[in-house]
Each structure stands twice: as C-alpha cells, then as structure tokens.
Structure 1
C-alpha cells in the first residue's frame, strides 16, 4: 500500500510525477493539512496537536487523530507510524524539507524509523528526493538532476554503476564528500550501499 503524507515544512507544490490519485492513503500532519487543502484534497487521516489551528471543526478529514502538545514524537513521525499501522509499505512525505533545520534533520532521520519496520519512506519536494537504503537499488535516469550518496554509517563494498563517477568496492564514511553530485550516464544507475546505511538523493541541478 502506498501512502502520501503532507508534513508542515516548506511546500512548493507537487513534485513532478507525483499524483495523489496514485496513493491508497493520504495523511496530513498538523500544518500539512493546509497544503492538502490548497490542492483541494480531503485527507483520509489528520494527525496533529492542532497547534496550527484555531478551530478543529474546520478540518475536513475522514479521521482525526488528536495528539497531546507534550509528546515524544513529532506529528510527522506519528503520521508515518499510523500509515504503517494501516498497512503502508511505501510512504512519500511532502512538506518535510526546508524551514527549521532541526525539523528537516529530524525528518531525514525518520527514514531510519521506516527502514527498521520494513517500510520505504522517502521525502520529496520539487527539487529533491531523499530516501535511505541498505540494499541495492536501481534509479531511473532523470534529466537535469544529479545523484548523491551520503553515508550515515561506515559503508564498505560500495558500488555505483551507470554514473559518471563509478564506484567499485569503495569505502564511504561520515566526514567525506565522495558521493556528492554524481551524474547519470545510462538509463539506470545501480547503487549498492554495501554493508552500511546510505542516504540516496536525486536533486535538481541549479
């Protein structure tokens, strides 16, 4: 099952190729509701402490999960957790980037929260797509975009094929920018993170 979550960070519209009709479940995390509303979408589930709203009665959603303001998880993490409980195995989060840097970094590390539960979570806006991998993947070529690999742990036996700067049995670790701004040269890039955890990013060239 595919789920789409609107979080409360910066939102500049739907990324290219993203259609809400392709998702089985749509959730809005607090301020993210305003982004769904802008697109004239009625979320299946609203999740939040309502600190961004004066009137709960104005929220149109099939289900409202009201959270306490004092909690151990962000609204976005709660939304991801609820989506997994509903059977989602693939989750795209919009509005998770930009704005406060602590929120952005917290959202990026939530990719691990999904991976630990066997759920693919990705964050995206019009310029960036970010996910976390620990197994080999194939990424289709996207014109005008570059591919970056950022290790979150020490990654040994890393391979990158179909890119301008290939990697063969490489070692990548925190504190090195080796994997930034690679280029697609074939229809697919094949990435193997070896034995570690790696952020995979597809970013629009500026």
Structure 2
C-alpha cells in the first residue's frame, strides 16, 4: 500500500492559523497563499496562480521559497484555489488541508466550503482550517473524532436537504437515529465528553465543524 501524502494548501490570505505549527509532507501556495507561506519562511513545492493580489517584490520573495512557480493569466476559467487543487491531484495527494480560504469575502468563503463537496471523491480527506475552525464534509458512514484542546465545539450541519440516521456517541448531547434538515440547529455547538467520539448517518451529506471561541 502506498504511503499517504499529506499536502498543506494555502489558497489565500484569509483567516490563517500559525502555519509554522502545521505539519505536511508538501506545501502548495496559491496566489496570496504563496506569499503567506513565504512570509512564514515555509518552503513550498509549488506556487501557482495569476498573482494579481501580490506585488512584484512579493513575487520575488515567493520565488525564493518555491521549488516551482506557475504563472497563469488572470483571464481563466479556474480560480487560483482550483488550480492548486488540480496540481495537488497531479502530485498524488491523499490528504489535503486547506488554509486561507475563509474569513474574507463571503462569496469566496461560501464557494470554497462548497468545494469540499466536489472533493469528496478526489482525496481521502479534505479539511479547511482557519484560526477558529476545522471544516470537513462526509458522505454516509461511520466516523471517529478525537477530543482536542484546540477545539471545544463540534457541530453537524446538513449540506443536503436532509440527513437521516444521525447518531452521536461520546458527546455531551448524544443523538440516536436523528434527522436534520437545512436551517435546523439541533446539532450545533455540541461537545465531546469522551476522548474519542463517533458520528454516523445513513443518508445525505454532513458538514462537520470543529470550532473554538476567539
């Protein structure tokens, strides 16, 4: 079995944690995300995008920290984030952590979260991480999550019109075979009371968000 390849992908300059505290086999920076990596002194395998949001001086710095820089025209069908995802596929990524794609413009943030749906069958695991949140999306199945000091709250939202069979064990507010719909708050702001919790559901698409107060 091939070893898993973890890639950290910085897709913008939105809400960023301390990137130096994150560990990945390979880093990819997209546009301003490449500047964020270079500014943190992190070497990246690839910097990609039209770089319309960075200065010439920034681009010089990016070249110093990137093994390869791919410049695209601003007039393109794909966003810089999508380009970075495509190159992560070509590299053979199994797990991808995405940074910098939330906490800025709301239209960009919403479409970036929706991108998790497109990536469900692309990588083994994709997570969006910012200063307060870790966001994942799942198809029906059974999943485990561990208690972390970083995140106090765990919420489950229905990305589809309805999610059925939602069962939570190891949580402060357990559920058994529950249904959740768009706009319902039944499974918001839960907390793990066990070191390891499980969540499962039988139909629909779930967004799982671990979060903390600032």
TM-score, normalised to structure 1, is: 0.91
Q: Is the 8 A contact 1:159 1:194 kept in 2?
A: no
Structure 1 runs not aligned, ≥5 long: none
Deviations 1:78-127 (A, max 9, x none): 11121011110100011111010111111111111211324411111221
Cα 1:167–1:194 shift into 2, 3 Å: same
Q: Is the 8 A contact 2:96 2:125 kept in 1?
A: yes
The count of aligned residue pairs is 203
Q: Which residue of 2 aligns with 1:37?
A: 38
Q: Distance in 1 between matches of 2:201 and 2:81?
A: 27
Could you report, residue by residue, the CA deviation over 1:39-97 in whole angstroms, capped at 9, with x for unpaired residues? 10121101111102343444321112222212222211211121011110100011111
Q: Cα distance, 1:205 vs. partner?
A: 3.3
Whether the aligned pair in 1 keeps the contact of 2:14 and 2:101 (CA below 8 Å) is yes
Q: Is the 8 A contact 2:38 2:61 kept in 1?
A: no
**Equivalent pair of 2:15/2:104 in contact (CA under 8 Å):** no
In the other structure, the counterpart of 1:122 is: 127
Structure 2: distance between partners of 1:152 and 1:3 = 25
Matching residue within 157, 173, 176 for 1:150: 157
Contact 1:14–1:125 (Cα < 8 Å) also in 2 = no
Structure 2: gaps (5+ residues): none
Q: In the alignment, what sits opposite 2:9?
A: 5
- Per the alignment, residue 138 of structure 2 pairs with 133
1:100 to 93, 99, 105: 105
1:40 counterpart SS class: coil
* Whole-angstrom distance in 2 between the partners of 1:73 and 1:159: 38
